Amino acid sequence: MSIGSQLKNCRSVITLGVCPNLDDYPDWKLELIQQSAKIYFPTSLYAEMFIAMGKTIFPGIQTYRFVGDKIKQTLFFQLNALSIPRSRFYYGPRQQKNITRDFSFPFVAKTPRFSSRGLGVKLIKNKDQLGEYLQDNHPAYIQEYLRGSRDYRIVVAGEKIILAYRRIPKGDEFRANIFLGADLSFKDIPCEALELALKASKVCGFNYAGIDICESEGNYYILEANMKFGTLGFKEAGLDFKKILCQLVSNGDI
């Protein structure tokens, strides 16, 4: 059974929908929740509770624990010895004075939590731009700028890659995001990028994520894992995302 709507068109799965209060479910649905050994898309509201009850969930609990938090993800990647661009966090005005000591302009500054579509990512070229960023971002998340890099989005479900593509920024835009006009290419995705995404997914327990990889001077780095990823890439590739999920369920892959 599933709580979220991602599998509502899958005949082999009963989708209950999300109710913020358990007494909003009729008795038969509540009983099904209590008796089910595996629950798909439990949502962040129920995921931890189901784990505490000993149930299996998909996506795995790590995808809920790290969703939308760039700082926690970065620390987790580092602890698992995964390759990332050089990154540091700065808490408070005293620490923030060290940013220009630790990084040369230009560098990348990110909104550390719950930003999407590339809107929380800025290329900082001078002290004035840094000052503007610091007004709205606490703590500060600073990352080295990798010149001439290539950006890849690799979507993993279970232990399989279900889509991979390169994102090519438009014009002078340095952010490679579909919502900012990036073009997509599905050809010749490097094996190194695919292997790094699968490794990160397995090591970190991110079994349902769009993992962003960049390549610079022959080296590959993880940027972040997006657990709430968009499906425009699937549409561009002529694929039905929900049918793919349903097939993965039918095959026992998730």
Task: Output the pLDDT for position 178.
Answer: 87
Q: Residues 155, 236: contact at Cβ < 8 Å?
A: no
Write out pLDDT tens, residues 104-162.
999 999 999 888 776 789 999 999 999 999 999 999 999 999 998 999 999 999 999 99
Number of other CB atoms surrounding residue 144 within 10 Å = 18
Task: Output the pLDDT for position 114.
Answer: 82
CA dihedral for 44, 50, 54, 59, sign (positive or negative): negative
Same-domain pairing of 93 and 131: yes
In a domain, 128, yes or no: yes
Task: Output the pLDDT for position 212.
Answer: 97
Query: Has residue 207 got a pLDDT over 90?
Result: yes
Q: What gap in Å lies between CA 67 and CA 135, rounded to an integer?
A: 24
Structurally, how many domains does the chain consist of? 3
Same-domain pairing of 36 and 100: no
In a domain, 67, yes or no: no
Amino acid type, 194: L
Q: What gap in Å lies between CA 137 and CA 177, rounded to an integer?
A: 21
Q: Residue range 230-244: average pLDDT?
A: 96
- Percent with pLDDT over 70 in the chain: 100
Picking from 128, 144, 160, the residue at the C-terminal end of a domain is 144
Distance from the first to the final alpha carbon of the chain = 13
Task: Output the pLDDT for position 106.
Answer: 98
Residue 37's domain comprises 5-58
Task: Output the pLDDT for position 179.
Answer: 80
Global pTM value: 0.94
Q: What gap in Å lies between CA 135 and CA 222, rounded to an integer?
A: 27
Same-domain pairing of 161 and 246: yes
In a domain, 35, yes or no: yes
Write out pLDDT tens, residues 27-74.
999 999 999 999 999 999 999 999 999 999 999 999 999 999 999 999
Query: Has residue 177 got a pLDDT over 80?
Result: yes
In a domain, 64, yes or no: no
Task: Output the pLDDT for position 174.
Answer: 85
Q: What gap in Å lies between CA 136 and CA 122, rounded to an integer?
A: 12
Q: What gap in Å lies between CA 182 and CA 125, rounded to an integer?
A: 22
Structure token pair of residue 6: 């991602």
In a domain, 156, yes or no: yes
Task: Output the pLDDT for position 180.
Answer: 83
The mean pLDDT value of the chain amounts to 95
Same-domain pairing of 132 and 171: no
